[in-house]
Amino acid sequence: MDHSSDNLVRIRGLHFRFGPRVIFDGADFDFERGKVTAVMGPSGIGKTTLLRIMGGQYKPDAGSVHVDGVDVPALKRRELFEYRKRLALMFQNGALLTDLNVFDNVAFPLREHSKLPESMIADLVLMKLEAVGLRGARDLFPEECSGGMQRRIAFARAVALDPMMVMYDEPFTGQDPMNLGVLARLVRKLNDALGTTSIIVSHDVAETLDISDYVYLISDGKVAAQGTADEIRRSGVESIRQFLKGEPDGPVPFHVKAPEYRKDLMGEAA
């Protein structure tokens, strides 16, 4: 499991459930420092939950979660906030503050956590916005920006404090091909330029594999496969091939478990 000795994140025997639904059933993960690691799998499999567990928003039912040596589930509220200053989570919908404009959104973490003078904050914000190509959109409000622009603003905000780890939750979902390429290149570029560690949760196969150093595929609450992007592409495992090729049926069934169709229609199902 230990694919490198320099792991920023080490998760062992992760168990987590929402009510009766088992999300993780003894999964192990290692995320290497300075690399882009992807966690892939079908929708609803628990990818976002994994990010929230690493961010301390959910506590696992069992197992250990260590990030840079910090035992995340054991953190108290105050310690948790200190820990979170060193990481960033980019939400699927951007989670931009709708009553602030683009500039103020990116400046938000700087103003909250630093005592920098406003002139320096302005310079830092413009540098981050330049990196994502939106320096010219600084005065717009989130609702005036397209979905792709909102993701890029969220990118800029996520890296405003130069975090040790950036977690991206479905960064490519719902984007047109051009935006998708832009966003994928940005993830890679920001990771390498800032020397941070990136974790991408996604089900956009091609783009994610293109920019990832290492990939985890999860299924049924466990790690179904892992390896470099090339190893995953070449895999002969049927369930991996089904996922990568987007086939509707296979080892992962198209239909959710249900009573027999005829009996259901006839009203005979229990």
Partner 1 sequence: MSHLIDIVVAFLRGAGRATIFFGLVLAAVPSALMRPRLLAQQVYAVGVLSMVIIVVSGSFVGMVLALQGYRTLVGFGAEESLGVLVALGVVRELGPVLTALLFAGRAGSAVTAEIGLMRATDQLSGMEMMAVDPVRRVVAPRFIAGFLSMPLLAAIFSVMAIGVAGGHLIGVQLLGVDEGAYWSQIHAQVEFNDVWNGVVKSVVFGTAVSWIAVYQGYHALPTSSGVSDATKNTVVMSSLAILALDFILTAFMFEGV
Residues that bind partner 1 (CB under 8 A): 55, 57, 81-85, 87-89, 91-93, 95-98, 108-109, 112-113, 157
Q: Which is nearer to partner 1, 113 or 222 (CB)?
A: 113
Cβ contacts of 221 within 8 Å, gap of 6 or more: 22, 23, 24, 25, 26, 27, 46
Q: Which is nearer to partner 1, 51 or 187 (CB)?
A: 51
The strand pair at 197-202 and 165-169 is best described as: parallel
**Least distance from partner 1 to the Cβ atom of residue 222, Å:** 26
Q: Which is nearer to partner 1, 64 or 93 (CB)?
A: 93
**Least distance from partner 1 to the Cβ atom of residue 97, Å:** 6
**Least distance from partner 1 to the Cβ atom of residue 169, Å:** 10
- Say if CB 94 and CB 151 are below 8 A apart: yes
Structure tokens given for 15: 């168990």
**Least distance from partner 1 to the Cβ atom of residue 157, Å:** 8
Q: Which is nearer to partner 1, 166 or 240 (CB)?
A: 166
**Least distance from partner 1 to the Cβ atom of residue 79, Å:** 11
Burial class of 84 by CB neighbour count within 10 A (0 to 12, 13 to 18, 19+) = middle
Cβ contacts of 253 within 8 Å, gap of 6 or more: none
**Least distance from partner 1 to the Cβ atom of residue 153, Å:** 12
The residue type at 205: V
The Cα–Cα gap between 186 and 191 comes to 8
Q: Which is nearer to partner 1, 92 or 235 (CB)?
A: 92
**Least distance from partner 1 to the Cβ atom of residue 104, Å:** 13
The strand pair at 222-227 and 214-219 is best described as: antiparallel
Cβ contacts of 236 within 8 Å, gap of 6 or more: none
Structure tokens given for 160: 């405003």
Q: Which is nearer to partner 1, 39 or 153 (CB)?
A: 153
The Cα–Cα gap between 236 and 123 comes to 50
The residue behind tokens 């914000």 is 125
Q: Which is nearer to partner 1, 142 or 221 (CB)?
A: 142
Paired with 155 in beta bridges are: none
